[in-house]
Structure 1
């Protein structure tokens, strides 16, 4: 039997038993759907990680008050009073690798009102350097100025989420809103930034002058954090060491005493984002793997039953000269045909499912050639493994006994 005839014979056999072939496919289809969704989410998560790292800035680092603070814990350092404005100014003047520093303090879940409308938002006290350091300006109006800082002006910049909640389609510049019990004039609308590296809504923010925040809103004399922009991202490790040394000296920390500040680098931002998405992907991968393995067992069992049902066919082929090798090949081709067909169906359904899931859950997905190849290769491996034992059993049949 030539290879072409073996393939045609295998496909013909599957065509005669459509229900059996479909039952063998079900486990593979389910497994490949899950696998395609996982790979699509995985690639989407990688894109999201890089997007978040780019938002943070590869040439930046963050100094937060308090030791051991994660970037996602935006309000975790509210009780820490260890970082002062004088510390930040000293760092900027004394460390040449630093291009600029944007100190800030923040308060979460602040009540904000505009006439009868109200919402909650995170309020940030910032300086004019926020715009270049964070690459975050206004789309309308004007950013906070040095004059606003000096005079403790009660002006604010609102994010798109706050604008939507309070003003809808109305023009907000020049309008008066209340943050807590203090009235502020809307000076500008911030650029939309989407999701933060920690997963929060960066558009649900209000920015006011740092001096106004510290003296009129929060009545504090310390900072929540400061973002540092470097001249050269390759110098980040050296800069971290210098910042750590300077702050320990200024805070009079003895040798062996833990830091009362936290320095967060882009590497840590990447690790944090990957950890969040990685846990979810591992769980889904286990489910997909179990589905594929289950599908493999189903194929192996049904094909074993098929061997018993087709003893006369196998005996006849061996009697007319078909070698054991070609019998094995035919059954392996049948197994591969089932799994690859299931893989194609699973990839189509999985790709559609991933896109729908991304829209519904508002999460990034990326259906790529990698997800398609992963599905086909996985199905092929399962098909070969599942078909080996039934194929060997068929090849070992004695033609005389099989024809009885």
Structure 2
């Protein structure tokens, strides 16, 4: 019997027993759906992590006020007042690896008004260096200048979300808005940036000169954080060590005393996110694997029953010259056809489910060739393993006893 005839015979046998074939598929379908969802969500999460790290900057170090700040935390730690503007200036002057620093202070949930319209935004006090260090400029108007800093000018830059809420389609440059009941002139419109590494809307933000923020708005003399830009990303680890040592000395921290600041690097952010997502994905992968293994046992059991029911058919084929090898191949092809068909259905349903899950739950998903390939390979392996024992049993049947 040629290979083509063996395959056609296997498919005809499955077609005669549609219900039994479907029952064997169910476990595979469920397992492949789960596996496709896991791979899609895993790749989506990894893609999102890398996008957020890229937004942060591969050659950047963040110094945040307060010790033990979570990597994903982007709001200011207002309880710590030890990080000063002088710290940022000292680091920039003494460490040659530093290309630029962007000190800033922030305030969440700040009320702003434009006539009858109002909004709640994140308020940020920054310096002119914020633009090159964060690679964040304006699409219209002008960024904050040294003169604005020196004169404590009441000027502001608004994000695109703020622009839409307060001004709609009107041109906002030169207009007056009130920030915490203090009047500011809109000087520029910030480039749209989308989602922050912490998951917030970076465009729902207003920036003002750091000096104005400290003296006229918040009445403080400390920073929320400093972003440090390096000449070479390969120097991150050594530079981070230098920054840590210098700040501990400047803050008079004794040996063994915990830091009152936190250094965040792209490497730490990536490792933390991948560790969390990896643990979660491993747990889900184990569940999907159990489902696939269960499906494999179902296929093996039902095919064993099928061998007992088809003894006469097997005996007749062996009597007319079919070898044990070809009998084994036929049953393996049947198992493969079941699992691959279930795998294809599972991949289609899993891919559609991943897209729907991403929309409904607003989480990143990425249905890629990797998820499809993983599903097909997993289904094929389960099919071969599940079909081996029934196929061997069929091949070992004595044709004379089978025909009785």
TM-score range with shorter-chain normalisation?
over 0.9
For residues 309-332 of structure 1, give each alpha carbon's deviation from its aligned partner in whole angstroms, at most 9, with x where no partner exists. Answer: 212112222333333332222111
- Cα pair 2:76 2:107 within 8 Å, conserved: no
Please list, as runs of the form range in 1=range in 2, the aligned pairs for 1:343-362 lying within 5 A after superposition: 343-362=343-362
1:37 pairs with 2:32: no
The 10-residue stretch of structure 1 (42-51 or 5-14) with the greater mean CA deviation from structure 2: 42-51
The 10-residue stretch of structure 1 (205-214 or 344-353) with the greater mean CA deviation from structure 2: 344-353
Write the distance in 2 (CA, Å) between the matches of 1:390 and 1:164.
Answer: 67
- Cα pair 1:97 1:235 within 8 Å, conserved: yes
Write the distance in 1 (CA, Å) between the matches of 2:168 and 2:98.
Answer: 40
- Paired residue for 1:316? 316
Write the distance in 2 (CA, Å) between the matches of 1:267 and 1:71.
Answer: 11
Q: Equivalent residue of 2:187, what SS?
A: strand
1:248 pairs with 2:210: no
Q: Equivalent residue of 1:125, what SS?
A: strand
CA deviation after TM superposition for structure 1 residue 129, in Å: 0.4
Q: Which runs of 5+ in 1 are unaligned?
A: none
Write the distance in 2 (CA, Å) between the matches of 1:275 and 1:292.
Answer: 25
Flag the 1:169–1:293 CA change in 2: closer, same or farther, 3 A.
farther
For residues 96-134 of structure 1, give each alpha carbon's deviation from its aligned partner in whole angstroms, at most 9, with x where no partner exists. Answer: 111100000111122222233322221111001000000
- Cα pair 1:69 1:76 within 8 Å, conserved: no
- Paired residue for 2:379? 379
Q: How many pairs are equivalent? A: 404
Please list, as runs of the form range in 1=range in 2, the aligned pairs for 1:222-371 lying within 5 A after superposition: 222-371=222-371
CA RMSD of aligned residues (A): 1.9
- Cα pair 1:71 1:197 within 8 Å, conserved: no
State the TM-score, normalized to the length of structure 1.
0.94
Write the distance in 2 (CA, Å) between the matches of 1:161 and 1:393.
Answer: 69
CA deviation after TM superposition for structure 1 residue 347, in Å: 2.0
- Cα pair 1:138 1:188 within 8 Å, conserved: yes
The 10-residue stretch of structure 1 (386-395 or 75-84) with the greater mean CA deviation from structure 2: 386-395
4+ residue runs over 6 A deviation: none
The 10-residue stretch of structure 1 (317-326 or 91-100) with the greater mean CA deviation from structure 2: 317-326
- Paired residue for 2:155? 155
Write the distance in 1 (CA, Å) between the matches of 2:144 and 2:290.
Answer: 56
Write the distance in 1 (CA, Å) between the matches of 2:112 and 2:278.
Answer: 36
Write the distance in 2 (CA, Å) between the matches of 1:326 and 1:391.
Answer: 10
State the TM-score, normalized to the length of structure 2.
0.94
Write the distance in 1 (CA, Å) between the matches of 2:286 and 2:178.
Answer: 50
CA deviation after TM superposition for structure 1 residue 147, in Å: 1.2
- Paired residue for 2:176? 176
Q: Equivalent residue of 1:82, what SS?
A: coil
Flag the 1:71–1:164 CA change in 2: closer, same or farther, 3 A.
farther
